[in-house]
Amino acid sequence: MFLDQFEIDHPFLDQDTVRLICAYTPARTHLGFGRYAAYRDRGDPTWRIGYGSLRIGKRFVHGGDKATEIQITTQLIEDLKKLTDLVVPCVYMPMNKKKRAAIISYAHSIGISAFKECYLRELINTNASKNAIIKEWSPYINKCYYHANSLLRERRRVELNYYLAPDKEIATFYPHRCEAKHQCLLNLAETWQHTPNQIKAIEYLERKFLEWDPTGESLRRFWRYWNQAPGLLGSPKNV
């Protein structure tokens, strides 16, 4: 994937999100030499191309259409911009970049209509516990994924890892002046309620860490472990 050459002009869509989706939505009907043909799924009269796009440029796809890899990637990005505009207003809790990427990928996978009604969205919007979200999202716990194909199961695993991963940029309802030299300690808030008192407590803890260890070695060592991909509740030991 040569996404680095594409400029994504959107406030909530970035290249990491597009890469995540492309990894589990391979472009279809490759003709060779970087060209792709239009296709229709069985029982669906609608023509699509590349990553499932209904349009190519400003017009709808027709039978016999062909497009280059640049064209289908450009169209995918335009499709994801529209999807992102629909997804972001549906999630009421603050999202950092990694959480947003995971949620957009999940919505892309099941469709925006299903996403608006899904239980996972309800859990996120009601600030459910980490374990409740894992139980719903993890393909190793949620029974609906027991007979799913390996690509979908892997996608759900990676999405969940993205959602749980720490991020330096923490989305909050209130301003936070991070004192940590490395990863922000707000990543650790398992019962995070987005209140001013919690932010003050985190800021106090960050200052104390710097007082206890001005070198920052303790925090650096902690974040080396924390930044490892989460194993997920109930995941096989080799993931």
Q: Which residue has the tokens 């994937």?
A: 1
* Residue 232 CB partners (closer than 8 Å, separation 6+): 134, 138, 140, 157, 160, 161, 164, 239
Domain residue limits, the chain: 1-76, 91-165, 185-226
What is the torsional sign of CA 46, 17, 70, 34?
Answer: negative
Q: Which two tokens stand for residue 1?
A: 């994937």
pLDDT tens digits, one per residue of 86-133: 999 999 988 888 899 999 999 999 999 999 999 999 999 998 888 899
Distances (CA, A) of 224 to 183, 217, 232: 10, 11, 18
Inter-axis angle of helices 69-87 and 15-24, to 10 degrees?
Answer: 110
pLDDT tens digits, one per residue of 73-83: 999 999 999 99
pLDDT at site 237 = 45
- DSSP letter assigned to residue 140: T
Question: Is the full-model pTM beyond 0.75?
Answer: yes
CA pair distance 104, 159, nearest whole angstrom: 9
